[in-house]
Structure formats: C-alpha cells, structure tokens
C-alpha cells in the first residue's frame, strides 16, 4: 500500500471515529439545507421500506439538530432569517401520515422545532391509502406469483417485487411514469392489492400506512411548529402529467387544505420529487412561493428563488451522528 493510500485510510478512520463520538465539522457550502422525512413509528420498522424512523431515534435527532443547526420556521424561510454562526436547516415531512401527528408533532412541540407537513387530498377518496405503501406491504405478505393488472399489463410478484417481464418494468416504475390524471388507476391498484391481503385489519401495521384525518390535519395546523403544505391531491407524479393537469391538481389540493386549516397554503413538496420547470413557473404565478423538490433535475440550481432542494433522511443512513454529518456534507 502506498504512503498516500495509507494516509487516506487513516484520515477515514479518524473521521469515522469523530462522527461516532459526535464531533462534527460545522462547515457546509450550502446557505440552507432542507431535510425530508416521511414517517415516525414506534419501533423503526424497516421490514417493508426505509421511510420510518422510531420515536426514540427521531427525538435524538431533534436534540442533535437543535445543538448543531439553526432550524428555520416558515417566517424565517420567507424573510431569509438565516444564521451566520450555524448551518441553517429546514425540516419537512411528506405524505401526511397519522404518525406525523401522533408521534412527530409532540416531539416538535417539546423541543419547539418547526417542520413543514406536505399532505395529499386522499382523505376524499374511498381507499385512503398511498399506493406505494400498499405495494410495499403486499409485496411482503403476498404469495409468489401474485398478480395485479394495470394498463393492460400483468405485474407478477417475484422476490417481493411486482414486475412485468415483457416490458422489463416494475410496478412502482410504471406508476411513477404514468401520465394519467386523477386517482382512478391508483385506486384500482390499491383495490387489487387489498383483495390479495387486506392489511387494514392488521393493527400492528397502522403506523405504516394510515393518513392524518381532516381533524388531525386541523389540529396539527394549530401548532406554531407546523406549516401545512401541499403534496399534490392524489400523490401523482406531477412532472409526468401535462402542465395543466398538474396545476389543476395542485389547486385542488390548496382548496382542500385551506378548507380544513383556514389558512393560506403557499408551499408544496412535490410527490416523489417529480416536477418540471414549466410547472415551477406556473405554480409560482398561482402563489406557490416555496416549492420543495428532491434533486435538481434540470440543471436548475440557483435559477429560481422559490425552489429548494431536499435531502432525504432514512434509517439506513446510520446513527444520529452519521445523519448530522451527512446533512452537513451532502
């Protein structure tokens, strides 16, 4: 091994040791870092997906965030109230899970830390379930070669994944590429999946799929530590729809949410991070002055003051110290 290689290895070992001990570099090239959560459950169940932290783990993260970051609320973000002494951080939650209300909100209030809750309009449909959660759960419980049919294509379950072999496409990939507006296709999918195994009867799984009720959304909005924003109405990938269909869906979402919370809704977290530059501009004209994406997809960093990139946080990233380090150095 060369001397340079040995030095590089030694540096990595030292860095990892410092991370484990909670000693971090405070440097970051970003003026603002936006972190994206999904769900908080009791035990950090990663059997079905990597989207849910446990309550205890989330609490540790909040304690660490409060020590090492300046965490912005809605007014801070609007007025550019950034700290010059600490890295600036915004917390966001996607999907509007009931666990955001039952587990995350009490901790946000306990530590007086703000978060944006991006919520769909799925309380208005018959099956109040996000399609991705239904796929994750059924793919775990269903028998091999279980089948669902969408768009004239059969998707067979193989090794916990629904796949159409002819077109070499997975079920999630098909859904994300779909340009069909509304919820008909997704509701059909969820109904087919529930006919294979109705997981709604399994109380142990509630935290992994149940969404906030309208009343819980209203109560959450009363907390000074929560800003309610849109996550589309049907959780369609808005960048896959026509621009007008996407704008119409987001406006539906605003009407629905404002009717519940009786406050203006001017923020959006794009489902699956899917957007277009045309949609960004159209929504800005409609008053959506804070738009949150996942990964800049059009070489558009710095082009629009209203657009913010987010960094997803997941249990497989390691302990709290590693998560903080990755946030700072992402």
Q: What is the pLDDT of residue 322?
A: 87
CATH superfamily of 3-125+211-329: Glycoside hydrolase/deacetylase (3.20.20.370)
| 3-class DSSP assignment, residue 148 | strand
Q: What is the pLDDT of residue 295?
A: 85
At 284, phi and psi to the nearest 5? Answer: -60, -40
Q: How many CA atoms lie within 13 A of 217 on its CB side?
A: 27
- Nearest partner of 135 among 197, 179, 183, 93, judged by Cα: 197
How many whole angstroms separate alpha carbon 220 and alpha carbon 72?
18
Length of the chain: 330
CA angle in degrees (0–180, nearest 5) for 321-323-329 = 105
Helices (H), the chain: 3-20, 55-68, 74-78, 98-99, 105-111, 131-141, 171-177, 184-196, 214-221, 243-261, 277-285, 320-329
Q: What is the pLDDT of residue 12?
A: 59
CB 142 within 8 A of CB 197: yes
At 19, phi and psi to the nearest 5? Answer: -60, -45
Give the N- to C-terminal CA distance of the chain in Å, as an integer.
29
Residue ranges matching CATH 3.20.20.370 in the chain: 3-125+211-329
Q: What is the pLDDT of residue 329?
A: 79
CB 97 within 8 A of CB 39: yes
How many whole angstroms separate alpha carbon 36 and alpha carbon 223?
19
Q: What is the pLDDT of residue 31?
A: 83
Tokens found for residue 222: 């009363």
How many whole angstroms separate alpha carbon 251 and alpha carbon 237?
15
At 121, phi and psi to the nearest 5? Answer: -110, 25
pLDDT in tens, the chain (330 residues): 566 665 666 665 565 555 555 555 555 556 899 999 999 999 999 999 999 999 999 999 999 999 999 999 999 999 999 999 899 999 999 999 999 999 999 999 999 999 999 999 999 999 999 999 999 999 999 999 999 999 999 999 999 999 999 999 999 999 999 999 999 999 999 999 999 999 999 999 999 999 999 999 999 999 999 999 999 999 999 999 999 999 999 999 999 999 999 999 999 999 999 999 999 999 999 999 999 999 888 888 778 888 999 999 999 998 888 898 888 876
Alpha-carbon distances of 145 from 142, 155, 160, rounded to whole Å? 8, 9, 10
Q: What is the pLDDT of residue 301?
A: 78
């Amino acid at each position: 091994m060369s001397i340079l290689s040995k030095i590089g290895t030694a540096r990595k070992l030292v860095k990892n040791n410092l991370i484990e001990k909670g000693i971090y570099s405070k440097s970051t090239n970003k003026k603002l870092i936006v972190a994206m959560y999904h769900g908080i459950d009791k035990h950090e169940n990663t059997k079905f997906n990597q989207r849910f932290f446990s309550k205890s783990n989330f609490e540790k993260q909040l304690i660490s965030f409060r020590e090492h970051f300046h965490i912005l609320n809605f007014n801070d973000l609007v007025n550019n109230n950034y700290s010059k002494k600490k890295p600036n951080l915004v917390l966001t939650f996607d999907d509007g899970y009931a666990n955001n209300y039952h587990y995350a909100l009490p901790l946000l209030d306990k530590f007086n830390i703000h978060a944006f809750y991006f919520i769909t309009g799925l309380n208005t449909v018959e099956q109040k379930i996000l399609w991705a959660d239904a796929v994750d759960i059924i793919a775990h419980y269903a028998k091999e070669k279980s089948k669902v049919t969408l768009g004239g294509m059969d998707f067979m379950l193989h090794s916990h994944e629904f796949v159409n072999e002819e077109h070499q496409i997975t079920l999630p990939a098909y859904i994300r590429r779909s340009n069909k507006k509304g919820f008909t296709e997704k509701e059909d999918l969820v109904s087919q999946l529930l006919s294979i195994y109705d997981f709604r009867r399994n109380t142990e799984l509630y935290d992994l799929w149940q969404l906030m009720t309208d009343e819980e959304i209203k109560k959450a909005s009363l907390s000074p530590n929560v800003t309610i924003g849109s996550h589309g109405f049907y959780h369609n990938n808005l960048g896959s729809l026509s621009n007008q269909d996407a704008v119409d869906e987001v406006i539906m979402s605003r009407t629905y949410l404002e009717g519940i919370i009786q406050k203006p809704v001017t923020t959006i977290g794009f489902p699956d991070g899917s957007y277009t530059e045309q949609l960004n501009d159209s929504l800005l004209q409609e008053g959506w002055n804070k738009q949150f994406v996942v990964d800049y997809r059009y070489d558009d960093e710095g082009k629009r003051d209203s657009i913010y990139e987010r960094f997803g946080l997941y249990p497989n990233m390691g302990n709290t110290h590693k998560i903080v380090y990755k946030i700072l150095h992402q």
